[in-house]
Amino acid sequence: LYAHVSDKDEMVELLLDRVMGEVRLPETIDPANWQEQLKQIMRDSREVFHRHRDIARAGRGNIPTGENALPLA
């Protein structure tokens, strides 16, 4: 396993980023409907983290910076 990642921290970071990639984001932001879009992103986020219950602990104390996490920031 560690032939692909340098250590456990990197593995956890990559795993968290992969899970965050499951959150659906709108293709375009509608200025007239931004509040509902934001609410839907939060509902989708909750659903994803509910499916991967233990991954929330991985994000504690870390600022996710992966390619899937940044659009959610």
Interval 7-16: pLDDT, tens: 888 888 999 9
pLDDT of residue 17: 93
Q: State residue 1's pLDDT score.
A: 60
Task: State the Cα–Cα distance between residues 19 and 56, nearest whole angstrom.
Answer: 10
Q: Is 38 helix (H, G, I), strand (E, B) or coil?
A: helix
Instruction: List the alpha helices (DSSP H) in the chain.
Output: 8-20, 34-51, 55-59
pLDDT tier at 20, thresholds 50, 70, 90: very high
Task: Render pLDDT for 30-62 as a digit per residue (tens, 0 to 9).
Answer: 999 999 999 999 999 999 999 998 887 877 777
pLDDT category of residue 23 using cuts at 50, 70 and 90: very high
